[in-house]
Amino acid sequence: MSKLLIGVVLGAILGVLDGLTAWFTPEARSEIVGIVIGSTIKGIIAGVAIGFFARKFQSLPLGIIFGLAVGAFLAFLVAFMQGKYYFEIMLPGTILGIIVGFATQKYGQAARTAQSV
């Protein structure tokens, strides 16, 4: 599977799980559906960015650091728009980025080049 595809699929799956962590904040339970949808979109965006990075740079440590940065940045933007719950939003978002950064570098296949016949 390509690095980009792993990033998108894993980002979406982990985005759903990220959104479901809102259940642990009682004030947010009434908005859980919107939070899960938003977190899934955020996970897909992170997966695309991390997948493109993984195609360009073949380094596990750089992939993890870039994933951490992308996950934390996107989660910060969401928390900033909310104006509260920074820790509750940023922790799972950052973990999502770290996992996707690791997986794209470790398990993704490099893009194939066309061969002339």
**What is the C-alpha separation between 50 and 113, in angstroms, rounded?**
20
Model-level pTM? 0.87
Grade residue 22 by pLDDT with cuts at 50, 70 and 90: confident
User: Model confidence over 43-92: pLDDT tens digits?
Assistant: 999 999 999 999 999 899 999 999 999 999 999 999 999 888 899 889 99
Residues recorded for the chain: 117
Residue 83 has a pLDDT of: 87
